[in-house]
Amino acid sequence: MIDVINLEKHFGGTQVLRGISVKIEKGDIVVVIGPSGSGKSTFLRCLNCMEDPTGGQIIFNGVDIADQRVDINVHRRHMGMVFQHFNLFNNKTVIENIMLAPVHLRCQDLRRAKRSNFFNRIGNVFRKGEQKKELLPVTAGKAEIRREAREEALSLLKRIGLEDKADVYPATLSGGQKQRVAIVRSLAMNPDVILFDEPTSALDPEMVGEVLDLMKALAREGMTMIIVTHEMGFAREVANKVLFIDEGQILESGSPEEFFGNPKNPRLKEFLSKVL
Amino acid sequence: MGNFSQKIDKFIEIFVNQNGYVRVLEGLRNTLTIAVLGLIIGILIGTLIATVRVIPKYKLLPRVLNGFCSFYVGFFRGTPMVVQLLLFYFVALPLAGRHMTGVQVAICVFGLNSGAYISEIMRSGILSVDPGQMEAGRAVGLNFGTTMMKVVLPQAVKNILPTLGNEFITLVKETSVVSFVGAADLYVAFNYIGSNSYEFMVPYLVMALIYILLVLIISAGIKIMERSLRKSDRRH
């Protein structure tokens, strides 16, 4: 599904990623670990072009999204992202946070469909029989889109047990609650893959569990996930592929059993001995 | 003291009996029109400029726009309001071959001028919003403009509301120079009363009082707005 080919990233003169290649299939749970400053977060942020890659290709669903000419916004809809600091929209209530993007993008699609129908209808007057262009179906109005999105958002909130928090502002939530809302916010777009950038690093220890539990549940449902984390236990339990990145390169990758049980790279051995 | 009460009598005589209050009300209306419309135009221009100035500058177009905006801000912050009024009225309008009333000219110049100041206020407001907010918006597939409109700017405005209020107060007070281009504001009205009675002390005192009153009302309004915008910060 995602095919990363020789990905490179420079910040000014410093090269942060030095040619990373990895293939991610549908349903994969990929965990990326590495010492701080190794480039693992940059790697993740390059995957949805939050940082523009300076070299290489990222083939996502058949399109090279590292290409500057591609409309990245279209592809980001299919790629959720969860941040270390949650980044919930502070000026929106919890449910608005979840609804904002789906409602806006569906309304945008609706406007576009109506516009193109309008012109095609005029054009069709001058076209004959088979040349007539087909009109796009306009199924739902704005109010209906909102109502549908609200229902979806509510059922997502119910799933994480926060439906009673639907109308409060994020400032009133605990860190764990914020992160779970952030996760369902990305779920609301029905993404093909979700990128997690150290999702538990900013949490109090007692809140790490609830977020990891939600992520495990997603994993069981077959969601494709790419996770940068320091939670080795989680990596071992959930991942089906673990990458070790240091100095902008993948030094070792493999299944968690092999990766943790029988590491080959000396740097990885050293790293694991420190963190385990 | 007898002298002073005489002056007050004179003022009241002109203010009430010779329809001085009509001029004052007219002046008040013009002052407020110029300040309010100037502020609205200023906010629109300022927001636009501030947004242009925070767009990442990889491409040519943002760079060109950015250059233009710096020039604009530099010009309007670098010259006094009076000079801008005079330039607009006696240079720009004749060159364009148009005619405008003094009030219209004042509205335009106040809008352009406050646009330059508000752009800087707005920019600091935008920069005060956590960059993660923009990232989160982009990550769910919204484009730069939409994320700006729906997420970043509302938070920026909340942060800069007190400063924006100051700017409005400044605008209200600065309208006292629009008589340079023949717009009849509060100052013109009281000046008229003064010159008709050959007595300026009381009219100018009343004028100052009205300005203070205006500013107090505006401050109170801003406070109310601030409170309603702070809704999302409350932690209970």
Amino acid at B20: G
Which is higher by pLDDT, B215 or B14?
A: B215
We report the CATH number of the domain holding residue B160 as: 1.10.3720.10
Among candidates B58, B143, B155 on the partner chain, residue whose Cβ is nearest the Cβ of A91: B155
DSSP state of A227: E
Amino acid at A276: L
Q: Which of A90, A173, A189, A193 to mutate to test the interface with B (most CBs of B within 10 A)?
A: A90
How many independent structural domains does chain B possess? 1
Task: Write down the mean pLDDT value for chain A.
Answer: 91
The predicted structure's pLDDT at residue B2: 62
Bridge partners, residue A243, by sequence = A32, A253
A249-254 vs A241-246, strand pairing mode = antiparallel
Dihedral sign from CA coordinates of B84, B86, B87, B93: positive
- Alpha-carbon gap, residue A76 to A47, rounded angstroms: 10
A18 touching B (Cβ < 8 Å): no
Bridge partners, residue A29, by sequence = A225
Between the alpha carbon of residue B38 and those of residues B103, B165, B170, the distances in Å are 11, 13, 11
Dihedral sign from CA coordinates of A156, A161, A167, A169: negative
Exposure of B230 by Cβ count < 10 A (0-12 exposed, 13-18 middle, 19+ buried)?
Answer: exposed
Provide the pLDDT confidence category of residue B1 given band limits of 50, 70 and 90: low
- Alpha-carbon gap, residue A207 to B168, rounded angstroms: 46
pLDDT at A137 over 60: yes
Instruction: Kindly determine whether residue A100 and residue B236, on different chains, have CB atoms separated by under 8 Å.
Output: no
Element (H, E) at A6: strand A2-11
Amino acid at B123: R
Å between B117 CA and nearest CA of chain A: 25
B228 touching A (Cβ < 8 Å): no
pLDDT at A68 over 90: no
Q: Nearest-5° angle of CA A197, CA A104, CA A173?
A: 50
Residue B17: count other Cβ atoms within 10 Å of its Cβ. Answer: 9
Among candidates B136, B158, B236 on the partner chain, residue whose Cβ is nearest the Cβ of A89: B136
Chain A partners within 8 Å of B151 (Cβ): 89, 91-92, 100
Domain that holds residue B223: 2-235
User: Within the 31-60 window of chain A, which residues sit less than 8 Å (CB to CB) from chain B?
Assistant: 48, 50, 52
- In this predicted model, what pLDDT tens digit does every residue of A213-272 receive, in sequence order? 999 999 999 999 999 998 898 999 999 999 999 999 999 999 999 888 888 899 999 999
The predicted structure's pLDDT at residue B57: 74
Å between A226 CA and nearest CA of chain B: 15
- In this predicted model, what pLDDT tens digit does every residue of A168-208 receive, in sequence order? 999 999 999 999 999 999 999 999 999 999 999 999 989 99
Chain A partners within 8 Å of B138 (Cβ): 50, 73, 76
pLDDT at B58 over 80: no
Dihedral sign from CA coordinates of A180, A182, A186, A192: negative
Does residue B119 contact residue B46 with C-beta atoms inside 8 Å?
Answer: yes
* Predicted ipTM of the assembly: 0.88
Å between A132 CA and nearest CA of chain B: 33
Amino acid at A18: R
3-state secondary structure of A223: coil
The strand order across the sheet containing A2-11 reads: A14-24, A2-11, A55-60, A63-64
Bridge partners, residue A87, by sequence = none
- The percentage of chain B sitting over the pLDDT mark of 70, rounded to a whole number, equals 97
Helix axes B20-54, B60-78, angle to 10 degrees: 150
A85 touching B (Cβ < 8 Å): yes
- Ranking A31-40, A200-209, B46-55, B221-230 by mean pLDDT, the lowest is B221-230
Task: Write down the mean pLDDT value for chain B.
Answer: 89
Chain B partners within 8 Å of A185 (Cβ): 140
pLDDT at B121 over 90: yes
Cα B30 off chain centre by: 13
Q: Nearest-5° angle of CA A115, CA A118, CA A124?
A: 140
- In this predicted model, what pLDDT tens digit does every residue of B158-194 receive, in sequence order? 889 889 999 999 999 999 999 999 888 999 888 888 8
